Amino acid sequence: MNSVETYNKSSAVEGLDIAYPFMDSDLIEFLLAIPGRALNWNGVPKGLFREAMKGVLPESIRLRNWKSDFTILNNDAAANDYEKFQTYLGTGCSAVANGYMDPIGVQNEFSSWKFDRNSILPAVQVTAAVAFELWLRLFLANNEFSSHTGVNL
């Protein structure tokens, strides 16, 4: 769930709303209530969904049984934007000013980040920190609880 929250926060800054149709609470309640053999119709994983999308999705997508790995693309995107990310994560950022992050830790952690193209963790950590910082700036901008003034995006 943390990645969903991170994506929602970073998308909201850009004015985007990301939809997660399979996370609808009514759908989840329904899926938990039906037998597994119905969900995996005819022994096919996600068979119920696949059958429901017949004639809606192209067959090559509806029947695929693999997932794409975007680790390298995500890491490249984070690495390309890293210089911009650093402008959000200095020792004077809202997360430090409000006690959520340690100033020395922020400086040590984000001053010279190394991206490993085969591990998603660095990209997730830096984008989560930036998303949290941006959310704090928006949330605390006109809030009496903020100890950080003059917040700019």
Q: Judge contact between 127 and 76, C-beta under 8 A.
A: no
| pLDDT of 142 | 64
Structure confidence by residue, pLDDT tens digits, 38-50: 888 888 888 898 9
Residues 130/24/46/72 CA torsion (nearest 10 deg): -10
- Ranges of the chain whose pLDDT falls below 70: 1-2, 112-113, 117, 142-153
CB count in 10 Å sphere of residue 17:
7
Structure confidence by residue, pLDDT tens digits, 112-129: 667 776 777 888 888 888
Give me 78's structure tokens.
């984070």
* Cα 130 to Cα 86: distance, rounded to the nearest angstrom: 9
| pLDDT of 144 | 56
| pLDDT of 145 | 53
CA Rg value for the chain: 20
